[in-house]
Amino acid sequence: MRILLYSPDNGITRNFMPHLWMFLLETLTPPGHEVLLIDGNARPLDEAGIARFLQEEKIGLVGIGSMTRMVAKAYRMADAVRAAGVPVVMGGPHVTEVPDEALGRSGGPRHADAVALGEADETWPQIVADAARGQLREIYEPKDAFGQERKPSLQPYPSIPWESMDLDQFNIVPKAMAPLLRRVGGGWATFRIIPVESGRGCPYGCEFCTVTGFFGDSIRFRSNQSVVDELLRLKARARREDGQMVVFFIDDNFAINVKRTKSLLRAIIEAKAQVHWVAQISANLLRDEELLDLIAASGGRWIFIGMESIDTANLASVNKGFNKPGQYGAVLQSLADRNIYAITSFMFGMDNDTPGVAERTLQQIRTWPPGLPVFGLITPLPATPLYRRLEREGRLTRPKHWQDFLPFAMAHTPLKMSVEQAHDEVKYAWAHCYNPEAIAHAIHSLEHKQVGYRINILVSRLCFRGIYFPQMSPLAWLKVIAGNWQSIFGVIRDGFGDWCNGFKKNRVIPSIADGAAMERLGYASPRPPSRQPENESVDSENISSCTSS
């Protein structure tokens, strides 16, 4: 049987990183079946397009995974697949929380023949076997002998064959430019952002978040060796293709157990498995100097920090009081001192927000090292504590907002501002943080750094601008380039050749023990850390508690 695993876009915005679930389920598919992958962000399809694909490729089963922001597009595509006579299995966080919606049991149309609830590591092989026999059940859920939900162990962890997978659709380098870049050299013929997980689960339970509900509050980790082996395979493929590979550790909080994270980073360094990587880490865990040194030495380049607000009352109201706004600046400076920069996320429309919150937030951001701030509106996702609270309070204005996806649109009434004012705040933040003047200021603040860091922040800012402002077409990009021509010309003038040479050297990240090489290439060189056994037990004392405020 030929199987299509499809990850939809939301029809409006674009993700640059594919979702891990597709690669994981392809790896877990029983022998005798062929799996094809389509990411709607990399290969856009409409309903007619997916119907043609099914016919041309003789697909016998389609699996669709979706988060809430993509589920409207996911349902439309699932309807087209079922209309073509091919069974559909849907899964992911949204379907897990509201399975009756996908199965047509809540008054709306049916979109799926079957749903996979929770993590599908153990149920996927059974789904494939049942589909091959034409005997799909409606609901698949991992349960133990007592009928209780079971979370899969990550030891052992499936070995995803990155070295042989077809990853062409995930190459961010435009096809027209790839031949030229390959001839020029410098390792930019391909550029991919690859999702990797080292653990699952989060104990914090922030009111607005779906992670604890989906993955649980107990942390499960892969072995260090399995993560190292995966990075080595990715690194080898990038070299073979004369390309770049950036890893995004998708753990909800990569350093949730600091002792374990240090052990993993030491293992990466010792195995020379360093690649440039990004991870999500909460600000309260980034005050450990040794951890920061190890992040730098192991290849960490960007850290995503969910700051959410600079207002402590807002943070307490959503059960995120462990964030300390007064410490944000020091944390970001410690990262920048090691050439690590932050993607900082903020939400407006929270209960203590008032008009002017965007400018107050920007005033703080301007005092920090340059990074990539992103702004959104607090959104009540189904089955979260936030959704249930707002429902009790009668404040939901669009209780099924996901069925008509609108980016940057409130789904409930804020307490201290209007819906329109909340929309204006997020627009103000994006406009004033990503206009040409702000981008030029961010570049200028890095004048004391090598030109590569300025190019990094310039390219990243221009790309991140597209999260809010439409720039999907070539014409839109020409306008962006024209508006920022002075900054672009400045960094080219300051050393395009140095940038190319620097990246050629940086493709081999030195050992943490080679202090001279670390300093020469701009990496922090921490004190040689003490060796920790990989199989140290993970206990509650090593996990920061969300109640520590």
Q: How do strand 341-348 and strand 277-280 relate by DSSP bridges?
A: unpaired
What is the rounded distance in angstroms from the CA atom of residue 541 to the CA atom of residue 310? 28
What is the rounded distance in angstroms from the CA atom of residue 351 to the CA atom of residue 414? 6
The first and second tokens of residue 399, run together, are 């209780």
Radius of gyration of the chain (CA): 23
Q: Provide CB contacts within 8 A for 466, sequence distance 6+.
A: 14, 472
Q: How do strand 199-200 and strand 220-221 relate by DSSP bridges?
A: antiparallel
The first and second tokens of residue 308, run together, are 């959410």
Looking at residue 540, its pLDDT comes to 32
With 0.85 as the threshold, say if the pTM is over it.
Answer: yes
CB atoms near residue 187 (< 10 Å): 20
Looking at residue 500, its pLDDT comes to 52
DSSP assignment of 132-190 equals HTT---SEE--B-TTS-B-PPP-SS-----TTTS--GGG--S-TTTHHHHHHH-SS-S-
Q: Provide CB contacts within 8 A for 444, sequence distance 6+.
A: none
**Positions of the chain with pLDDT under 50:** 499, 507-514, 517, 520-549
How does pLDDT run across 132-169, given as a tens digit for each residue? 999 999 999 999 888 888 999 999 999 999 999 999 89
Contact 161, 236 (CB under 8 A): no
Q: How do strand 114-116 and strand 88-91 relate by DSSP bridges?
A: parallel
What is the rounded distance in angstroms from the CA atom of residue 63 to the CA atom of residue 281? 31
What burial class does residue 442 get, using C-beta atoms within 10 Å of its C-beta: 0-12 exposed, 13-18 middle, 19+ buried?
buried
Looking at the domain 2-140, which fold is it? Rossmann fold (3.40.50)
The first and second tokens of residue 406, run together, are 């609108």
Classify 306 as helix, strand or coil.
Answer: strand
Same fold, 2-140 and 171-520: no
Of residues 255, 239, 250, 253, the one with CA closest to residue 193 = 250
What phi, psi does 203 have (nearest 5°)? -85, -5
What is the rounded distance in angstroms from the CA atom of residue 413 to the CA atom of residue 230? 45
Task: Report domain extents, the chain.
Answer: 2-140, 171-520
Dihedral in degrees, nearest 10, Cα atoms 121, 125, 128, 133: -150
CATH of domain 171-520: 3.20.20
Residue 156, preceding peptide bond in cis (omega within 30° of 0): yes
What is the rounded distance in angstroms from the CA atom of residue 261 to the CA atom of residue 282? 13
Looking at residue 515, its pLDDT comes to 53
